[in-house]
Structure 1
Amino acid sequence: MGKTYTHITTEISKNVATLRFNRPEQLNAMNREMMDEIIDGIETINADDRVHVAIITGQGRAFMAGADIKEYGSQTPEQFKSFQDRGIQLYDSIENAPQPWIAAVNGYALGGGFEIALSCDMILASETAKMGLPEVFLSLVPGGGGTQRLIQRIGINRAKEMLFTGGQYTASVLFEWGIVNHVYQTHEFDAEVLRFAQKLTRRPLGALKELKRLAHLSLSPLPFHQKITEEGKTVSHLFHGAEAKKAIQDFIDKT
């Protein structure tokens, strides 16, 4: 992609972008420099017309074990506010990206790491992955949308359990709870994630972008009838576009 980073790597292959956290000796814990790199990497990927689907994952045995506590705990009030503001920007840059983002949770995803996964459109997990929000042990609460996005995914009762206990939950449990979309065997994980992402690239990008936008619209406070109206406008706009006309004609020609 033409950029070299210290704490992450990025690449694009066959319309799939991959951003990989690369501080494996620290379990990919995020410091300020790494956060800036992640934001730059995400925004660069989002702006690249070649990218139809993006994957975010970790190097080594962790996805991301949250913030780098040594740096986090020594921040001044000004540095802390800046760190929190940049974190919100990071999560928003994934959630509000035009194309789908997949969290490929290869290992521990804790604290801010789990919040990054929750900001993605889907979570694919290795069978050995563990996820959670342990902030309560530090007399803190999640500060990157973890409480709100978690409740949206699984409802308030189970969200409270995860938040109150601060526990680490296995991929299989979170699959049953509806947070994780698929769980793959560790030795097949990378190949299965890529296979899933490539399947999405075979769907028309225009429709994918609109599906993501409409799915997020469903969580907005707009009246239901306005959401349905927007859905109708969207299908009409797509129907009259060249991409849909070609797809419909190709389908007719095959029957």
Structure 2
Amino acid sequence: MPNWETVELNKTYSDENVYVIELNRPEAMNSLNTKMAIELIECLTLLEHQKDLRALVLTAKGEKSFCVGADLKERKGMTNEQWKQQHDIFEEGYELLRNFKFPVIAAVNGFALGGGMEMMLSCDLRYASEHVKVGLPEVKLGIIPGVGGTQLLPRAIPVGLAKEMLFRGNQVDAQKALEVGILNGIFTKEELMSKTIEIAKEIARNAPLSLQSIKKSIQTGLHTDMNTALSIELDQYYKCANSDDRLEGVLAFNEKRKPNWQGK
């Protein structure tokens, strides 16, 4: 595995088909600079081809911040062209995260602001510590979210609430984020990783083709009309129904044993 500086890849749970990515710039509140974005892209690209992976957890070093968005110190003095070049790299990383073929679970251990909240929203499931605050404050800086915030948030919570957060640029605490649907659950800071890993392991025990097909059906179907979405689901259904894993799943159920998935 490559030795990245701003991103760490943990294989501790790889025997259970779970990998963990940790953002590693705690001294800078895990703000996203160009190097981190590039290394995240490299890490996600590598993991796409990892045959023993079924679920991915994304978290960060430290207890204060998950990610507070782009590193504004790095951006200070950038020309418009340099800003655009950097943002192209950010876009590539977030797209890889959104479209990762297996479920991605965020373990949010601190502030998730701006691009940090967009990173969290790019994950399929989101769990956080009790002390976490999240927000999209770009409007206060003369910009708007640029890696999915205005599209992902209204798909996660009621549109009116999403507009309020975006227009005000305010932060909400973990309890409020849970109540409106931004988060799937909250834990104590001591339990966050263990509980998130437990959920990831549960997911990873399921059929790999089914996990991929569910994610693809949802991701693709959300952006089209119902008839087209149902057609997408049906295509994915028959992909699974015609697989060896479907035969194994039924056989294992009848033999009262754990299935031995082959991913085909």
The corresponding residue for 2:170 is 167
- In 2, the alpha carbon distance for the partners of 1:238 and 1:103 equals 27
How far off its partner does 1:154 sit? Answer: 0.8
Match of 1:245 in 2: 247
Letter matched to residue 4 of structure 2: Y
| Equivalent in the alignment of 1:73 | 76
**Structure-2 residue corresponding to 1:9:** 8
Structure 1: which 5+ residue stretches go unaligned? none
Secondary structure of residue in 1 paired with 2:163? helix
Choose from 185, 202, 205 the match for 1:202: 205
CA distance in 2, matches of 1:194, 1:137: 36
- 1:44 corresponding residue in structure 2: 46
Q: Counterparts of 2:220 and 2:255 in 1: how far apart (Å)?
A: 35
Mean Cα displacement is larger for which, 40-49 or 140-149?
40-49
In the alignment, which residue of structure 2 is the partner of 1:136? 139
2:126 counterpart SS class? strand
Work out whether residues 126 and 183 of structure 2, in 8 Å CA contact, stay in contact via their aligned partners in 1.
Answer: yes
**How many Å separate the matches in 2 of 1:202 and 1:250?**
13
Q: Report what 2:89 is aligned to.
A: 86
Q: Calculate the aligned-residue CA RMSD, in Å.
A: 1.4
Give the residue type in structure 2 aligned to 1:229. S
4+ residue runs over 6 A deviation: none
Which deviations, in whole Å up to 9, do the C-alpha atoms of 1:159-218 show, x marking residues without a partner?
111111111111111111011011111111111111111111111111000000001122
Q: How far apart in 2 are the matches of 1:226 and 1:34?
A: 38
Secondary structure of 2:182's aligned partner: coil
With normalisation by structure 1, the TM-score equals 0.95
Which has the larger displacement, 90-99 or 10-19?
Answer: 10-19
Does residue 30 of structure 1 match 2:32?
A: yes
Instruction: Tell me what 1:105 maps to.
Output: 108
Give the CA deviation at 1:43. Answer: 1.4
How high is the sequence identity, in percent, across the aligned residues?
33
Per the alignment, residue 231 of structure 2 pairs with 229
| Structure 1 residue 240: Cα displacement | 2.1
Is 1:53 aligned with 2:52? no
Offset, 1:48 = 1.1
Q: CA deviation at 1:21?
A: 0.7
**Partner amino acid, structure 1, of 2:252:** D
Q: What is the CA distance between 1:142 and its match in structure 2?
A: 0.8
CA distance in 1, matches of 2:237, 2:248: 15
Aligned to 1:185: 188
Query: Secondary structure of 1:187's partner?
Result: coil
Equivalent residue pairs, number? 253
| TM superposition shift of 1:224 | 2.1
Deviations 1:95-121 (A, max 9, x none): 111111111101011111111111111
Any stretches of 5+ residues in structure 2 without a counterpart?
A: 258-264
1:162 and 1:35 mapped to 2: Cα distance? 26
Query: What are the Cα deviations for residues 112-167 of structure 1, in whole angstroms up to 9, with x where unaligned?
Result: 11111111111111111111111111111111111111111112200111111111
